[in-house]
Amino acid sequence: MDFLSTTFYFIIAIFILVTVHELGHFLFAKLFGMRVDKFYIGFDFYNLRLWKKKIGETEYGIGAFPLGGYVKIAGMVDESLDTDFQGKPPEPWEFRAKPVWQRLIVLAGGVFMNMVLAALIFIGMAGVFGESRTSTVNPAFVEKGSVYD
pLDDT in tens, 98-145: 999 999 999 999 999 999 999 999 999 998 988 777 767 676 676 777
- Phi and psi at 110, nearest 5°, equal -65, -45
- Phi and psi at 143, nearest 5°, equal -80, 150
Number of domains in the chain: 1
- Phi and psi at 65, nearest 5°, equal -110, 100
Confidence at residue 118, expressed as pLDDT on a 0 to 100 scale: 98
| 10 falls within a domain | yes
Confidence at residue 88, expressed as pLDDT on a 0 to 100 scale: 80
Confidence at residue 130, expressed as pLDDT on a 0 to 100 scale: 81
Confidence at residue 90, expressed as pLDDT on a 0 to 100 scale: 85
Above 80 in pLDDT, residue 69? yes
pLDDT in tens, 80-92: 566 666 678 889 9
Active site residues: 22
Cα 67–68–72 angle (5° rounding)?
130
Confidence at residue 61, expressed as pLDDT on a 0 to 100 scale: 97
CA dist 13 and 73 (Å) reads 25
CA dist 106 and 71 (Å) reads 11
Confidence at residue 36, expressed as pLDDT on a 0 to 100 scale: 97
Confidence at residue 132, expressed as pLDDT on a 0 to 100 scale: 75
Taking residues 39-57, report their average pLDDT: 95
The range of the structural domain enclosing residue 7 comes to 2-117
| 147 falls within a domain | no
pLDDT in tens, 17-32: 999 999 999 999 999 9
Give every CB contact of residue 66 below 8 A, 6+ residues apart in sequence: 11, 14, 15, 41, 42
Q: Read off the pTM.
A: 0.81
| 138 falls within a domain | no
| 125 falls within a domain | no
